[in-house]
Amino acid sequence: ATSTAEAAAEFDFKGYMLGKAAAVNRALDLAVPLAYPERIHEAMRYSLLVGGKRVRPVLCIAACELVGGDEDQAMPSACAVEMIHTMSLIHDDLPCMDNDDFRRGQPACHRAYGEPVAVLAGDALLALAFSHLADPANYPPARPIPPYLLVRAVGELARCIGSEGLVAGQVVDLDSTGVTESIGLDLLEFIHIHKTAILLEASVVIGAIIGGGLDREVERLRQYARCIGLLFQVVDDILDLTKSSSELGKTAGKDLASDKTTYPKLLGLEKSRELAGDLLRDAKLHLQGFDSRKAAPLLHLANYIAYRQK
């Protein structure tokens, strides 16, 4: 039998990522045609099709394939989670939220199209995610998805977005922005679990549901996803600090100077790195019990999230 380490070593992760991301990009391009009224569709395509590492859709496809489904079956869900992610970025960048001018290397949607169109582009992507995921025409006729699985997937996606999901994370984040004292670890974790981890979790879980995974497989993958979701954010905070430090050529970078609470600020850099290591180890533990060759993509995705440089 191939060991986990051997299966991991043999796997061409870069080729896998590039191949899957290209397939996702083709599917997204087809999912949002430049129909009338052109301006709104142009704005949706502007934010959706340019840039983005496509981590969530690739996680969705990898989870589907791990439990026995295939890429075509996962693709509508993969596109849906990327549409939700993109709409949350569009709304997050608005002046009434984070007020950011740039996203994915280009002017933010509201800078390019104006605020009203950016709000509507976000709303339209939110609606499209669900209609795209639920549309039977988007599934290969030879391998249709049983409707009860589609309903479960829709429920999972809706739950992760609403007032106990992404919106909860954003509201608590907005409430804690600008307060002079640093927030505690519990609140920081609440924000990251809801703003970041929950959509990574939904991406994996929906992929596993659509792929026909057994309940215990779906739940094990949910645990894996929870670990990598938090890991994603801990690493983000560490990168923010170390990148800005090296750019400024001094030890305290933008992160320590800003009013944003981060893991390094609360725990220190060393303890934050330890936490990232623990989360990576736990994520991998949840993959044990799956065939190691088939689990290689998710194992590498966890490593990628842990060791990425941006």
Distance of CA 238 to the CA centre of its chain: 18
Q: Say how far apart CA 232 and CA 226 lie, in whole Å.
A: 10
89 lies in the binding site for ligand GRG (CB under 6 A): yes
92 lies in the binding site for ligand GRG (CB under 6 A): yes
Contact in structure between 183 and 176 (CB atoms under 8 Å): yes
Among 88, 138, 203, 292, binds ligand GRG (CB under 6 A): 88
47 lies in the binding site for ligand GRG (CB under 6 A): no
- The distance of closest approach from Cβ of residue 26 to ligand GRG in the complex, given in angstroms and rounded to an integer, is 17
Q: Which of residues 184-203 bind ligand GRG (CB under 6 A)?
A: 195-196
41 lies in the binding site for ligand GRG (CB under 6 A): no
Contact in structure between 42 and 109 (CB atoms under 8 Å): no
53 lies in the binding site for ligand GRG (CB under 6 A): yes
Instruction: Work out the angle at residue 129's Cα, subtended by the Cα atoms of residues 279 and 309, and round it to the nearest 5 degrees.
Output: 35
119 lies in the binding site for ligand GRG (CB under 6 A): no
166 lies in the binding site for ligand GRG (CB under 6 A): yes
Question: Nearer to ligand GRG by C-beta: 108 or 126?
Answer: 126
52 lies in the binding site for ligand GRG (CB under 6 A): yes
Tokens of 280: 């990576």
Measured CA to CA in angstroms, residue 93 lies from 23, 100, 103, 110 at distances of 27, 5, 8, 8
Strands 102-103 and 106-107: antiparallel
- The distance of closest approach from Cβ of residue 85 to ligand GRG in the complex, given in angstroms and rounded to an integer, is 6
DSSP bridge partners of 290: 288
Among 134, 167, 266, 269, binds ligand GRG (CB under 6 A): 167
Compute the Cα dihedral for 261, 266, 269, 273 and give only its sign.
Answer: negative
- The distance of closest approach from Cβ of residue 53 to ligand GRG in the complex, given in angstroms and rounded to an integer, is 4
Among 47, 170, 176, 262, binds ligand GRG (CB under 6 A): 170
- The distance of closest approach from Cβ of residue 199 to ligand GRG in the complex, given in angstroms and rounded to an integer, is 7
253 lies in the binding site for ligand GRG (CB under 6 A): no
CB atoms within 10 A of CB 35: 8
Stretch that binds ligand GRG, among 41-49, 85-93, 256-264, 274-282 (CB under 6 A): 85-93
Q: Say how far apart CA 73 and CA 256 lie, in whole Å.
A: 45
Q: Say how far apart CA 209 and CA 148 lie, in whole Å.
A: 10
Cα-based torsion angle of the residue sequence 93, 94, 96, 97 in order, rounded to the nearest 10 degrees? -20
Question: Nearer to ligand GRG by C-beta: 7 or 275?
Answer: 275
Question: Nearer to ligand GRG by C-beta: 74 or 126?
Answer: 126
Contact in structure between 245 and 253 (CB atoms under 8 Å): yes
> How big is the site for ligand GRG, counted in residues (CB under 6 A)?
18
- The distance of closest approach from Cβ of residue 269 to ligand GRG in the complex, given in angstroms and rounded to an integer, is 20
Q: Say how far apart CA 306 and CA 310 lie, in whole Å.
A: 11
161 lies in the binding site for ligand GRG (CB under 6 A): yes
Helix pair angle (71-93, 115-134), 10° resolution: 160
Question: Nearer to ligand GRG by C-beta: 67 or 75?
Answer: 75
Residues near ligand GRG, by CB under 6 A = 51-53, 55, 85, 88-89, 91-92, 97, 104, 126, 161, 166-167, 170, 195-196
